[in-house]
């Protein structure tokens, strides 16, 4: 381990090492001379206030599954069409904008997520975000909830954040031993890390402790890619259902 000041190197001995480096699992694996079959996507969300209570606090996760043409006035369309930098805002966007209330009964915060420009990227921090993202997300969601048009041009300043989805081709995590004695991995948790964390951690702990593993453990092992039949299956896997 090289300390932050860079002047010292400290050795920590351990019988077990877990690569749980999130979007940097590949970088850590490379230190072990391993190549992991994962890639990364940037997913962004906004949190904004809904003082008009357009979206009820008891609303579930709301997902719009149709492609979207953003609603603009004729004047706005003419203005956006004047520049190559904004002309894309007039084109059709893919489906998938989704939202939900955030917080308890006293909150008026709403989260909107829409990964309309999915592509593989190298993880960097801080990451850049489309400056039009909040407006795009709001207008896209307004196709499902027209009442949100009340916020066009006067939305309270949103909080914009996000992170990387680290994924395998079939969108299954990597959990279990690596092909180096004592080394393990828990990664590739895509966009369901919070939901899967407890089960993933339990499976990893059982693997490290040498306990009996459940039948589904093999589905998350890195060793699955050594199976010719599994690799053949990957070629025709199809969609993974990721938002």
pLDDT (tens, 9 = 90+) of the chain, 243 residues, equals 666 666 677 788 889 999 999 999 999 999 999 999 999 999 999 999 999 999 999 999 999 999 999 999 999 999 999 999 999 999 999 999 999 999 988 999 999 999 999 899 999 999 999 999 999 999 999 999 999 999 999 999 999 999 999 999 999 999 999 999 999 999 999 999 989 999 999 999 999 999 999 999 999 999 999 999 999 998 888 777 665
Non-local (6+) Cβ contacts of 62 within 8 A are 55, 98, 99, 100, 141, 144, 145
Q: Residue 98: is it exposed, middle or buried by C-beta count within 10 angstroms (0-12/13-18/19+)?
A: buried
The token pair that represents 167 in the structure block:
């994924």
Residues 6+ apart with CB under 8 A from 129: 44, 160, 162
Q: Model-level pTM greater than 0.75?
A: yes
pLDDT digits (tens, 9 = 90+) for 52-88: 999 999 999 999 999 999 999 999 999 999 999 999 9
Give the integer Cα–Cα distance in Å for 167 and 118: 13
Bridge partners, residue 45, by sequence: 113, 161
Say how far apart CA 73 and CA 57 lie, in whole Å.
30
């Amino acid at each position: 381990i090289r300390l932050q000041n860079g002047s010292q190197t400290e050795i920590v001995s351990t019988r077990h090492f877990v690569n749980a480096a999130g979007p940097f699992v590949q970088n850590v694996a490379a230190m072990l001379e391993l190549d992991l079959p994962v890639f990364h996507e940037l997913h962004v969300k906004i949190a904004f206030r809904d003082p008009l209570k357009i979206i009820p606090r008891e609303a579930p996760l709301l997902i719009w599954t149709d492609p979207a043409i953003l609603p603009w006035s004729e004047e706005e369309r003419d203005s956006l069409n004047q520049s190559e930098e904004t002309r894309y805002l007039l084109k059709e966007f893919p489906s998938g904008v989704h939202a939900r209330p955030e917080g308890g009964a006293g909150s008026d915060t709403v989260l909107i997520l829409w990964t309309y420009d999915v592509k593989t990227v190298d993880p960097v921090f801080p990451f850049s975000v489309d400056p039009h993202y909040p407006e795009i997300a709001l207008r896209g969601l307004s196709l499902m909830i027209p009442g949100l048009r009340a916020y066009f041009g006067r939305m309270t300043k949103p909080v914009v954040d996000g992170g990387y989805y680290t994924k395998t081709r079939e969108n299954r995590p990597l959990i279990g031993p690596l092909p180096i004695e004592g080394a393990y991995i828990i990664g590739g948790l895509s966009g369901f890390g919070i939901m899967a964390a407890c089960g993933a951690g339990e499976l990893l702990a059982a693997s490290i402790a040498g306990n009996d593993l459940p039948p589904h453990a093999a589905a998350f092992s890195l060793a699955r890619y050594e199976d010719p039949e599994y690799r053949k299956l990957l070629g025709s896997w199809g969609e993974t259902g990721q938002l």
